[in-house]
């Protein structure tokens, strides 16, 4: 399927129309079957705008998803960089470290980051320790 933006020369209406192919468009145009649905004029032209080719709807969608994913990934990467620069990595000891900061009132210059299970986070929250969960992309994914 191919989508063209058509423009009526008489009333300047612009509208989208679908055709099986560019050949089909030419055929319909030649036979003057192409009419403006607003004023009925046959002076309907394809605008110069590039037509959208949808040969495979699924691929089209996947491409969108991938570019969206890359966009999100970039944001996360920037976020990760900020965290790495400003927070201390404590790995799997996150829950322990978070508690020691909270209960010992240890003054740490840096915040901490690391991995924790959902259960850990829930328990920390119950104890009044705020922890933020963010999506994390391992570097090895590159």
119 vs 11, 115, 126, 135, CA distance in Å?
65, 12, 11, 16
CA triplet 110, 104, 92: central angle to 5 degrees?
60
- We find the least distance from the C-beta atom of residue 49 to Zn ion, in angstroms, to be 18
Name which of 32 and 119 has its Cβ closer to Zn ion: 32
- We find the least distance from the C-beta atom of residue 40 to Zn ion, in angstroms, to be 7
* Gyration radius of the chain over CA positions: 29
Name which of 37 and 108 has its Cβ closer to Zn ion: 37
Q: Which parts of this chain interact with Zn ion (CB under 5 A)?
A: 8, 10-11, 13, 36, 38-39, 41
Name which of 4 and 113 has its Cβ closer to Zn ion: 4
Dihedral angle at the C-alpha atoms of 83, 84, 86, 87, nearest 10 degrees?
80
- We find the least distance from the C-beta atom of residue 13 to Zn ion, in angstroms, to be 5
């Amino acid at each position: 399927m191919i989508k063209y933006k058509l423009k009526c020369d008489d009333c300047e209406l612009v509208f989208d129309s679908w055709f099986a192919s560019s050949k089909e468009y030419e055929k319909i145009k030649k036979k003057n079957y192409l009419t403006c649905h607003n004023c009925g004029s046959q002076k309907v032209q394809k605008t110069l705008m590039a037509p959208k080719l949808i040969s495979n709807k699924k691929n089209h969608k996947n491409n969108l998803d991938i570019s969206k994913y890359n966009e999100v990934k970039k944001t996360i990467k920037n976020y990760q960089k900020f965290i790495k620069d400003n927070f201390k990595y404590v790995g799997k000891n996150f829950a322990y470290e978070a508690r020691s900061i909270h209960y010992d009132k240890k003054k740490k210059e840096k915040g901490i980051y690391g991995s924790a299970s959902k259960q850990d986070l829930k328990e920390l929250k119950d104890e009044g320790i705020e922890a933020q969960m963010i999506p994390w992309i391992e570097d090895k994914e590159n």
